[in-house]
Amino acid sequence: MKRLVPLLILAAACSSAPTPTSTVAPLKIGNYSVDVGPSPVGVIPTTMLHDAQRNKDVEVSIEYPTRGGPFPVIVFSHGYGSSDRGYEPLISYWTSYGYVCIRPSHADAAAPRDTIREALERPAPRSQSRQRGITVEPNVQPRNTMEAIWDKEREPQWRDRALDVKLVLDSLADLEQRFPELRGKMDRNQIGVGGHSYGGFTAMLISGARTFSNPPLSMADPRVRAALVMSPQGTAQNRGLTPQSWSDVRIPVMYMTGTNDRGAAESETPDWRKQAFEYSPAGDKYFVLIPGASHMSFTGALGVFDLPPEMPRQTINQPGGMTPVQQQRPGILSRTGFGTIKLVSLIFWDAYLKNDPTAREALSGQQLESSGVKIEKK
Whether pLDDT at 186 is above 70 = yes
Which residues touch 49 (CB under 8 Å, ≥6 apart)?
57, 58, 60, 104, 167, 168, 171, 174
- Whole-angstrom distance, CA of residue 302 vs CA of residue 292: 11
Whether the predicted pLDDT of 296 surpasses 90: no
Whole-structure pTM value: 0.79
Flag whether pLDDT at 126 surpasses 90. no
Q: What is the predicted pLDDT for the residue at 136?
A: 38
Q: How far is CA 142 from CA 195, 308, 319, 345, in A?
A: 30, 17, 36, 37
User: What type of residue is 271?
Assistant: D
The reported pLDDT for the residue numbered 30 is 78
Distance between CA 70 and CA 173 in Å, rounded?
13
Domains and CATH numbers, the chain: 28-120+147-377 (3.40.50.1820)
Predicted local confidence at residue 335, as pLDDT: 53
- The whole-chain average pLDDT of the chain stands at 79
- Beta carbons within 10 angstroms of residue 279's beta carbon: 18
Q: Return d(Cα 110, Cα 126) in angstroms, integer.
A: 32
N- to C-terminal Cα distance for the chain? 45
pLDDT tens by residue, 237-260: 989 999 999 999 999 999 999 999
Is the peptide bond between 70 and the residue preceding it cis, with omega within 30 degrees of 0? Answer: yes
Confidence of residue 142 (pLDDT cuts 50, 70, 90): very low
